[in-house]
Amino acid sequence: MTIALLSHVDLDAGYPDRFKAAGFTLYFATTPEQRNSLDPQTAQQIRAVLTIGSIGLSAAEMDNLPDLEIICAQGVGFEHIDVAAAKQRGIHVTHGPGTNNSSVSDHTLALMLAITRKIPQFDAAVRGGEWKKARWNTPGMAGKRLGIIGMGNIGSLIAHRAAGGFDMEIAYHNRRPLQDTPYRYFPDITGLAQWADYLVVATPGGKDTVRLVDADVLRALGPDGFVINIARGSVVDSGALIASLQNHEIAGAALDVVDGEPKVPAQMLTLDNLVITPHVAGRSPESVENMMTLVLSNLTAHFSDKPVMTPVPQ
Active-site amino acid positions: 232, 261, 279
| Cα 124 from Cα 311, distance rounded (Å) | 45
Distance set, CA 200 to CA 78, 253, 312 (Å): 21, 10, 25
| Cα 45 from Cα 264, distance rounded (Å) | 36
Distance set, CA 250 to CA 174, 194, 215, 222 (Å): 23, 11, 11, 5
Q: Put the strands of the sheet holding 3-7 in their side by side order.
A: 24-28, 3-7, 46-51, 70-73, 92-94
* DSSP reduced 3-state for 198: strand
State the chain's maximal CA–CA distance in angstroms: 67
Instruction: Kindly state the helix (H) or strand (E) to which residue 193 belongs, with its residue range.
Output: helix 189-195
Angle between helices 101-116 and 285-303 (to 10 degrees): 150
Closest Cα to residue 306, out of 314, 297, 182? 297
* DSSP reduced 3-state for 173: strand
Q: How many helices (H) and strands (E) does the chain have?
A: 12, 12
Output phi, psi for 170, to 5 deg.
-115, 135
* DSSP reduced 3-state for 313: coil
